[in-house]
Amino acid sequence: MRIGAHVDPTDPLAEASARDAEAVQFFLADPQGWKAPKPREDAERLRAADVDLYVHAPYVINVATLNNRIRIPSRKLLLGHAAAAAAVGARGLIVHGGHVNAGDDLAVGFDNWRKTFAYAADSGGFPLPILIENTAGGDKACARHLDALARLWDALGDYEVGFCLDTCHAHAGGEELLGLVDRVKAITGRIDLIHANNSKGTFNSGQDRHDNLTGGTIDPELVVAVIRAAGAPVIVETPGGVEGQAADIAFLRGQLGAAA
Ligand SMILES: [Zn+2]
Protein backbone atom coordinates (compact mmCIF):
# COMPACT_ATOMS: atom_id res chain seq x y z
CA MET A 1 0.00 0.00 0.00
CA ARG A 2 1.41 3.35 -1.09
CA ILE A 3 1.34 6.01 1.62
CA GLY A 4 2.21 9.67 1.25
CA ALA A 5 1.28 13.26 1.96
CA HIS A 6 -0.02 16.49 0.52
CA VAL A 7 3.08 18.65 0.07
CA ASP A 8 4.36 21.99 -1.15
CA PRO A 9 4.54 21.95 -4.96
CA THR A 10 8.02 23.51 -5.30
CA ASP A 11 9.90 20.20 -5.17
CA PRO A 12 7.41 17.39 -4.48
CA LEU A 13 10.04 14.62 -4.80
CA ALA A 14 12.25 16.21 -2.15
CA GLU A 15 9.18 16.53 0.07
CA ALA A 16 8.46 12.84 -0.50
CA SER A 17 11.92 11.74 0.57
CA ALA A 18 11.86 14.06 3.61
CA ARG A 19 8.73 12.19 4.78
CA ASP A 20 9.79 8.72 3.57
CA ALA A 21 6.64 8.85 1.44
CA GLU A 22 5.79 6.61 -1.53
CA ALA A 23 3.20 9.07 -2.84
CA VAL A 24 2.67 12.82 -2.89
CA GLN A 25 -0.19 15.12 -3.71
CA PHE A 26 0.27 18.76 -4.61
CA PHE A 27 -1.35 21.74 -6.30
CA LEU A 28 -0.37 22.95 -9.75
CA ALA A 29 -1.66 26.48 -9.12
CA ASP A 30 -3.00 28.64 -6.31
CA PRO A 31 -5.78 26.53 -4.72
CA GLN A 32 -7.81 29.68 -4.03
CA GLY A 33 -7.28 31.21 -7.48
CA TRP A 34 -8.49 30.91 -11.04
CA LYS A 35 -5.12 30.99 -12.81
CA ALA A 36 -4.48 28.16 -15.24
CA PRO A 37 -1.53 25.94 -14.28
CA LYS A 38 1.79 26.68 -15.98
CA PRO A 39 3.85 23.87 -17.53
CA ARG A 40 6.40 22.58 -15.01
CA GLU A 41 10.09 22.53 -15.87
CA ASP A 42 10.54 19.36 -13.84
CA ALA A 43 7.76 17.48 -15.68
CA GLU A 44 10.13 14.86 -17.09
CA ARG A 45 11.72 14.20 -13.70
CA LEU A 46 8.28 13.93 -12.09
CA ARG A 47 7.06 11.51 -14.75
CA ALA A 48 10.12 9.30 -14.26
CA ALA A 49 9.93 9.25 -10.45
CA ASP A 50 9.01 6.08 -8.61
CA VAL A 51 6.89 8.20 -6.25
CA ASP A 52 3.18 8.08 -7.10
CA LEU A 53 1.88 11.56 -7.89
CA TYR A 54 -1.58 12.99 -7.35
CA VAL A 55 -2.74 16.50 -8.15
CA HIS A 56 -5.42 18.33 -6.19
CA ALA A 57 -7.54 20.75 -8.21
CA PRO A 58 -8.13 24.27 -6.82
CA TYR A 59 -10.82 24.65 -4.15
CA VAL A 60 -12.55 27.39 -6.14
CA ILE A 61 -13.69 24.85 -8.74
CA ASN A 62 -17.41 24.13 -8.46
CA VAL A 63 -18.75 22.49 -11.61
CA ALA A 64 -22.11 21.76 -9.97
CA THR A 65 -23.26 25.31 -9.28
CA LEU A 66 -26.11 26.93 -11.19
CA ASN A 67 -24.08 30.17 -11.20
CA ASN A 68 -22.71 30.43 -14.76
CA ARG A 69 -19.94 32.78 -13.71
CA ILE A 70 -18.51 30.04 -11.46
CA ARG A 71 -19.54 26.89 -13.36
CA ILE A 72 -18.15 27.79 -16.79
CA PRO A 73 -14.68 28.84 -15.57
CA SER A 74 -14.71 25.83 -13.23
CA ARG A 75 -15.08 23.45 -16.16
CA LYS A 76 -12.30 25.15 -18.06
CA LEU A 77 -10.01 25.20 -15.05
CA LEU A 78 -10.69 21.52 -14.36
CA LEU A 79 -9.77 20.62 -17.93
CA GLY A 80 -6.62 22.75 -17.73
CA HIS A 81 -5.59 21.04 -14.51
CA ALA A 82 -6.33 17.62 -15.96
CA ALA A 83 -3.99 18.32 -18.89
CA ALA A 84 -1.29 19.71 -16.59
CA ALA A 85 -1.64 16.83 -14.14
CA ALA A 86 -1.36 14.29 -16.96
CA ALA A 87 1.76 16.11 -18.20
CA VAL A 88 3.57 15.37 -14.92
CA GLY A 89 2.41 11.75 -14.89
CA ALA A 90 -0.15 12.10 -12.09
CA ARG A 91 -2.29 9.06 -11.35
CA GLY A 92 -5.36 11.14 -10.65
CA LEU A 93 -6.76 14.64 -10.32
CA ILE A 94 -8.74 15.13 -7.13
CA VAL A 95 -11.63 17.58 -7.20
CA HIS A 96 -14.24 18.35 -4.57
CA GLY A 97 -17.83 17.32 -5.24
CA GLY A 98 -19.06 20.90 -5.15
CA HIS A 99 -22.49 22.24 -4.26
CA VAL A 100 -25.43 24.29 -5.41
CA ASN A 101 -26.58 27.45 -3.64
CA ALA A 102 -29.41 27.65 -1.10
CA GLY A 103 -32.73 27.50 -2.90
CA ASP A 104 -31.24 25.80 -5.96
CA ASP A 105 -32.18 22.28 -7.00
CA LEU A 106 -29.45 19.73 -6.29
CA ALA A 107 -30.70 17.68 -9.26
CA VAL A 108 -29.40 20.44 -11.54
CA GLY A 109 -26.06 20.23 -9.76
CA PHE A 110 -25.78 16.51 -10.54
CA ASP A 111 -26.69 17.22 -14.15
CA ASN A 112 -24.04 19.93 -14.28
CA TRP A 113 -21.53 17.29 -13.26
CA ARG A 114 -22.75 15.09 -16.12
CA LYS A 115 -22.36 18.03 -18.50
CA THR A 116 -18.80 18.56 -17.27
CA PHE A 117 -17.86 15.03 -18.31
CA ALA A 118 -19.78 15.45 -21.58
CA TYR A 119 -17.89 18.69 -22.23
CA ALA A 120 -14.57 16.92 -21.58
CA ALA A 121 -15.64 14.01 -23.80
CA ASP A 122 -16.16 16.48 -26.68
CA SER A 123 -12.43 17.18 -26.59
CA GLY A 124 -11.35 13.54 -26.26
CA GLY A 125 -12.12 12.99 -22.58
CA PHE A 126 -10.07 13.62 -19.46
CA PRO A 127 -6.46 12.48 -19.95
CA LEU A 128 -6.23 10.96 -16.46
CA PRO A 129 -8.67 9.68 -13.82
CA ILE A 130 -10.82 12.36 -12.19
CA LEU A 131 -11.31 11.48 -8.53
CA ILE A 132 -14.32 13.20 -7.01
CA GLU A 133 -13.78 13.80 -3.29
CA ASN A 134 -16.43 13.79 -0.56
CA THR A 135 -16.77 17.09 1.30
CA ALA A 136 -17.53 18.01 4.91
CA GLY A 137 -19.97 20.88 4.90
CA GLY A 138 -23.05 22.52 3.44
CA ASP A 139 -26.68 21.51 3.03
CA LYS A 140 -26.52 21.44 -0.76
CA ALA A 141 -23.35 19.45 -1.38
CA CYS A 142 -23.08 16.84 -4.15
CA ALA A 143 -20.75 14.54 -2.23
CA ARG A 144 -21.22 15.11 1.52
CA HIS A 145 -23.90 12.54 2.28
CA LEU A 146 -24.10 9.14 0.64
CA ASP A 147 -27.66 9.68 -0.61
CA ALA A 148 -26.36 12.66 -2.63
CA LEU A 149 -23.32 10.65 -3.76
CA ALA A 150 -25.65 7.95 -5.10
CA ARG A 151 -27.56 10.54 -7.14
CA LEU A 152 -24.28 11.98 -8.42
CA TRP A 153 -23.09 8.55 -9.54
CA ASP A 154 -26.45 7.91 -11.23
CA ALA A 155 -26.01 11.15 -13.18
CA LEU A 156 -22.44 10.20 -14.17
CA GLY A 157 -23.35 6.64 -15.14
CA ASP A 158 -22.06 6.94 -18.72
CA TYR A 159 -18.60 8.06 -17.67
CA GLU A 160 -15.52 6.62 -16.01
CA VAL A 161 -15.32 8.45 -12.67
CA GLY A 162 -13.05 7.81 -9.71
CA PHE A 163 -13.59 8.48 -6.04
CA CYS A 164 -11.40 9.87 -3.26
CA LEU A 165 -12.61 9.21 0.28
CA ASP A 166 -11.53 11.74 2.91
CA THR A 167 -11.97 10.40 6.45
CA CYS A 168 -12.08 13.87 8.05
CA HIS A 169 -14.73 15.04 5.61
CA ALA A 170 -16.82 11.88 6.10
CA HIS A 171 -16.76 12.16 9.91
CA ALA A 172 -17.34 15.92 10.03
CA GLY A 173 -19.90 15.52 7.26
CA GLY A 174 -21.93 13.10 9.35
CA GLU A 175 -21.08 9.70 7.83
CA GLU A 176 -19.96 6.99 10.25
CA LEU A 177 -16.54 5.58 9.35
CA LEU A 178 -17.46 2.11 10.57
CA GLY A 179 -18.44 0.14 7.46
CA LEU A 180 -18.20 3.26 5.29
CA VAL A 181 -15.99 1.70 2.62
CA ASP A 182 -18.62 -0.95 1.83
CA ARG A 183 -21.40 1.66 1.73
CA VAL A 184 -19.37 3.90 -0.60
CA LYS A 185 -18.32 1.06 -2.86
CA ALA A 186 -21.95 -0.06 -3.17
CA ILE A 187 -22.46 3.34 -4.85
CA THR A 188 -19.21 4.06 -6.69
CA GLY A 189 -17.86 0.55 -7.18
CA ARG A 190 -14.40 1.89 -6.40
CA ILE A 191 -12.22 3.93 -4.09
CA ASP A 192 -9.11 5.18 -5.84
CA LEU A 193 -7.51 7.14 -3.04
CA ILE A 194 -7.93 7.68 0.70
CA HIS A 195 -7.30 11.06 2.25
CA ALA A 196 -6.38 9.90 5.73
CA ASN A 197 -7.00 12.78 8.10
CA ASN A 198 -8.25 13.14 11.63
CA SER A 199 -10.78 15.88 12.33
CA LYS A 200 -10.68 18.86 14.67
CA GLY A 201 -14.42 19.24 14.19
CA THR A 202 -16.82 16.82 15.86
CA PHE A 203 -19.06 14.28 14.10
CA ASN A 204 -21.52 16.00 11.72
CA SER A 205 -20.10 19.45 12.60
CA GLY A 206 -19.70 20.25 8.91
CA GLN A 207 -16.23 21.64 9.68
CA ASP A 208 -13.37 20.92 7.27
CA ARG A 209 -10.51 21.10 9.77
CA HIS A 210 -7.87 18.38 9.44
CA ASP A 211 -5.87 17.08 12.38
CA ASN A 212 -2.96 14.68 12.77
CA LEU A 213 -4.00 11.05 12.91
CA THR A 214 -3.53 10.48 16.62
CA GLY A 215 -5.15 13.82 17.51
CA GLY A 216 -8.67 14.97 16.72
CA THR A 217 -12.13 13.59 17.31
CA ILE A 218 -11.84 10.33 15.31
CA ASP A 219 -10.58 7.11 16.87
CA PRO A 220 -7.37 6.60 14.82
CA GLU A 221 -8.12 2.88 14.59
CA LEU A 222 -11.20 3.75 12.54
CA VAL A 223 -9.04 5.60 9.99
CA VAL A 224 -6.76 2.55 9.81
CA ALA A 225 -9.79 0.28 9.35
CA VAL A 226 -11.05 2.46 6.47
CA ILE A 227 -7.65 2.23 4.76
CA ARG A 228 -7.47 -1.52 5.24
CA ALA A 229 -11.00 -2.03 3.89
CA ALA A 230 -10.41 0.23 0.88
CA GLY A 231 -7.00 -1.20 -0.03
CA ALA A 232 -6.30 2.06 -1.87
CA PRO A 233 -3.28 4.39 -1.81
CA VAL A 234 -3.23 6.89 1.04
CA ILE A 235 -2.44 10.60 1.25
CA VAL A 236 -2.35 12.39 4.60
CA GLU A 237 -3.38 16.05 4.43
CA THR A 238 -2.43 16.75 7.98
CA PRO A 239 -0.72 19.68 9.72
CA GLY A 240 2.77 19.87 11.22
CA GLY A 241 4.88 19.98 8.05
CA VAL A 242 7.54 17.35 7.47
CA GLU A 243 7.61 16.25 11.10
CA GLY A 244 3.86 16.00 11.61
CA GLN A 245 3.21 14.23 8.34
CA ALA A 246 6.18 11.86 8.64
CA ALA A 247 4.81 10.83 12.05
CA ASP A 248 1.36 10.24 10.53
CA ILE A 249 2.83 8.14 7.73
CA ALA A 250 4.93 6.13 10.20
CA PHE A 251 1.85 5.63 12.39
CA LEU A 252 -0.11 4.23 9.44
CA ARG A 253 2.74 1.96 8.34
CA GLY A 254 3.04 0.64 11.89
CA GLN A 255 -0.69 0.00 12.23
CA LEU A 256 -1.16 -1.50 8.77
CA GLY A 257 2.00 -3.58 8.97
CA ALA A 258 1.10 -4.87 12.41
CA ALA A 259 -2.00 -6.62 11.12
CA ALA A 260 -0.66 -7.70 7.76
ZN1 LIG B 1 -9.07 15.71 1.31
Q: Tens of pLDDT along 41-53?
A: 999 999 999 999 9
Distance 91 CA to ligand 1 centre (A): 16
Say yes or no to pLDDT of 258 above 90.
Answer: no
Binning pLDDT at 50, 70 and 90, where does residue 108 land? very high
**Which residues sit with Cβ closer than 5 angstroms to ligand 1, an ion?**
166, 195
What DSSP string runs through the chain?
A: --EEEE--SSSHHHHHHHHT-SEEEE-SS-TTS-PPPPPPTTHHHHHH-SSEEEEEPPTT--SS-S-HHHHHHHHHHHHHHHHHHHHTT-S-EEEE--B--TTS-HHHHHHHHHHHHHHHHHTT--SS-EEEE--S--SSBSSSSHHHHHHHHHHTTTS--EEEEEHHHHHHHT--STTHHHHHHHHHS---EEE--EESSPTT-----EE-TTSSSS-HHHHHHHHHHH---EEE--SSHHHHHHHHHHHHHHHHHHT-
Judge contact between 97 and 141, C-beta under 8 A.
yes
Write the CB contacts of 161 (distance below 8 Å, at least 6 apart in sequence). Answer: 117, 130, 132, 153, 188
Binning pLDDT at 50, 70 and 90, where does residue 260 land? very low
Judge contact between 196 and 235, C-beta under 8 A.
yes
Distance 182 CA to ligand 1 centre (A): 19
Distance 133 CA to ligand 1 centre (A): 7
Write the CB contacts of 104 (distance below 8 Å, at least 6 apart in sequence). Answer: 65, 66, 140
pLDDT mean across residues, the chain: 97
Distance 42 CA to ligand 1 centre (A): 25
Q: pLDDT value at position 215?
A: 96
Distance 199 CA to ligand 1 centre (A): 11
Q: pLDDT value at position 158?
A: 82
Distance 143 CA to ligand 1 centre (A): 12
d(CA 216, CA 168): 9
Binning pLDDT at 50, 70 and 90, where does residue 257 land? confident
Residue type, 124: G
Distance 152 CA to ligand 1 centre (A): 18
d(CA 247, CA 243): 6
Binning pLDDT at 50, 70 and 90, where does residue 156 land? very high
Q: What is the mean pLDDT of residues 217-245?
A: 98
Q: What is the mean pLDDT of residues 88-104?
A: 97
Q: What is the mean pLDDT of residues 237-251?
A: 98
pTM of the shown model: 0.97
Distance 237 CA to ligand 1 centre (A): 6
Distance 125 CA to ligand 1 centre (A): 24
Q: pLDDT value at position 1?
A: 87
Say yes or no to pLDDT of 107 above 80.
Answer: yes
